[in-house]
Structure 1
């Protein structure tokens, strides 16, 4: 069992909330984590027909039976009526942390929670392993391409299975199972082509019309399908920062994939050697760093505070972190050799925003940290120092 960073936060919230909800992508380790944290709780999986029918017969009796002893309900969104009963039970029992709900479909689960359990539930998101979790467990070496190609899904560190064998099956299962349960999509082959088109645009501004034109579908369909990928934690849309610094800004979001192993599979990259020379390697690395920060926030029980900045003349900052009135600007470059051009965007933004050089960072593909005149330079292995600075 690799220790998850979110564990302490979940346990602390069981003292303050009657219901704990854990959502995240399929096979990110949600069930493993909650069964490890709550070994004495009854475990019910609503994807198991026997469990589902048993709960459906008498939901009220089922919930009352565990109001004091505790129960884990896996894939809780499968039985929406359960949430209405749960509200009355937790209000009556006044017990904290006795109901643990998990689910892989974010908006289906959270929509039902906000309708029935507002103020009674603490919501957490568990992503595949973060770099710090793998590092503490001794899995991180110094081969960046191997890490990017492998990705961070727990099964790849638990079983003797190769990324090129795992991800195609994961993608197929996701399309056939989850997509159909979220939305009635008539042509699944078009949806699969859509995901691959999105993979080719990782780290770039998302243009719904452009994608729609390539697939022969309309703008609304593309928007709807992007929402499905977001709800299933396949992609993340990084929003532009709202403060304009007297410049006209782009309004589109940038598209990233949560997991670079999955991303490589969608791009038909078959080995880390092939990745090394791939034309999208820089964007894949950028996706890796941005998502590592997002995962770090989620695994602390926090919402992301990340944006990007780009004006209409092409000046850009890859990642802006907003901490109250304080901003940190981060440029992300995959090269191992530091080039003076790497600092151009940081210098421009620093002058424009009058941001202190202490808040300017460059994360690159090398292994050493440096202090340069223009910014602090961090290795990809040390990205966490941004949050600590």
Structure 2
């Protein structure tokens, strides 16, 4: 198993809550993490028809088997179990009693909110981060290879190509499980929608244009996008809300949470082709934003990430909220530093007129260094770029 950064967070939270819930996309390593961190607990998968039937028909006896708690995998398959868990953990008053995992965020979070409020801590586990891969000696040698592979653990612990694995992942998860949540009847239309979203990763979201390009209404596009967000396929980065005396855009930016999946949906099959591909910049920005998400989620921190853009097009790719202030981050896919890369960071600081801890440019080169008024951070050191 590749050591996960969220393991220490899981242990910490299990000391203060009777239930720990691990959510995230399928194949992100939730079950592996739960079994590695809590090896003494029995493991039960509710994907197993026999176990699911037992839990559904007689939840009290099902849970009575686990005097020392258990790992309940894919618990959203049996949502009525959560109410019985509430009564059980209230009676036992034992911390770290049950570990729950689930891939469908909507079902699981709804059940947690209704039945387990105040009794459960959540960790959202995304695919492997660059830092986790680097510590395991598995970080790809080139940026292009990193963008092509993404972070799903299966691509690093078995002899399978990204094309073969991602094709099957899309067919079995995105096109089957995800579309069932909105009862999509036209699979081809949904496939087109997902690919159109991939083509727009790193861009401002325009639902009307997205829907028109796919032949669906803006309302349907919003519904389908919401499901992709719920299932950890995409995320929306919101514009920063503070007005610095400039007219600001209000639309969010759309990002895939795995650059490798976005690249596959765009039809990119070769790392060498990414050196000159038109989507290289957008995929690199997607990769960096997903890394920043992973870092905060693995540490159990809130997702205090924003972007800033005014009506004239001046933009800062990411703003990170720290106790000491807002940290602006620019993302450039080039491998050679250019003197104008930090211009928008300087403009934003003038508009904001606030303390900015460590303005940073993350780029596609290999050398990190401190410059006069900002940090230059290599893609290999992306885990350090958000440290104020």
TM-score category by the smaller chain?
A: over 0.9
C-alpha displacement of 1:301 = 1.2
Query: Who is 1:146 aligned against?
Result: 145
1:235–1:258 contact (8 Å) kept in structure 2: yes
Query: Who is 1:305 aligned against?
Result: 304
**1:65-98, Cα deviation, whole Å (9 max, x unpaired):** 21x3121111111111111111111111112212
Give the distance between the partners of 1:350 and 1:270, measured in 2 at CA: 40
Give the distance between the partners of 1:107 and 1:206, measured in 2 at CA: 22
Query: Who is 1:58 aligned against?
Result: 58
Query: Who is 1:328 aligned against?
Result: 327
Give the distance between the partners of 2:356 and 2:121, measured in 1 at CA: 38
1:44–1:73 contact (8 Å) kept in structure 2: yes
Give the distance between the partners of 1:102 and 1:347, measured in 2 at CA: 44
Give the distance between the partners of 2:333 and 2:251, measured in 1 at CA: 24
**1:77-133, Cα deviation, whole Å (9 max, x unpaired):** 111111111111111111221211100011111011000000000111111101110
C-alpha displacement of 1:303 = 1.8
**1:294-349, Cα deviation, whole Å (9 max, x unpaired):** 00101111121110000011110000011136011011000011112212211211
Query: Who is 1:22 aligned against?
Result: 22
TM-score calculated relative to the size of structure 1: 0.97
What are the ranges of 5 or more consecutive residues in structure 1 without an aligned counterpart?
none
1:350–1:360 contact (8 Å) kept in structure 2: no
C-alpha displacement of 1:356 = 4.9
Query: Who is 2:336 aligned against?
Result: 337
Query: Who is 1:160 aligned against?
Result: 159
C-alpha displacement of 1:371 = 2.5
SS at match of 2:267: coil
Alignment of 1:1-389 (within 5 A): 1-66=1-66, 68-324=67-323, 326-356=325-355, 359-389=358-388
1:306–1:319 contact (8 Å) kept in structure 2: yes
Give the distance between the partners of 2:354 and 2:88, measured in 1 at CA: 52
SS at match of 2:361: strand
Give the distance between the partners of 2:314 and 2:321, measured in 1 at CA: 19
Give the distance between the partners of 1:247 and 1:338, measured in 2 at CA: 29
What are the ranges of 5 or more consecutive residues in structure 2 without an aligned counterpart?
none
C-alpha displacement of 1:251 = 0.5
C-alpha displacement of 1:374 = 3.9
Of 31-40 and 314-323, more deviation after overlay is shown by 31-40
1:238–1:253 contact (8 Å) kept in structure 2: yes
Of 202-211 and 47-56, more deviation after overlay is shown by 47-56
Give the distance between the partners of 2:180 and 2:44, measured in 1 at CA: 20
1:179–1:185 contact (8 Å) kept in structure 2: no
RMSD: 1.3
SS at match of 1:330: strand
C-alpha displacement of 1:350 = 1.8
Give the distance between the partners of 2:150 and 2:384, measured in 1 at CA: 22
SS at match of 1:171: helix
Give the distance between the partners of 2:280 and 2:175, measured in 1 at CA: 29
**1:36-91, Cα deviation, whole Å (9 max, x unpaired):** 1222222111111111112223101211321x312111111111111111111111
TM-score calculated relative to the size of structure 2: 0.97
Give the distance between the partners of 2:301 and 2:4, measured in 1 at CA: 15
SS at match of 1:214: helix
Q: Which aligned segments of 4 or more residues in structure 1 are displaced greater than 4 angstroms?
A: 355-358
Aligned residues: 388
1:190–1:215 contact (8 Å) kept in structure 2: yes
Of 374-383 and 127-136, more deviation after overlay is shown by 374-383
Give the distance between the partners of 1:325 and 1:374, measured in 2 at CA: 17
Of 93-102 and 247-256, more deviation after overlay is shown by 93-102
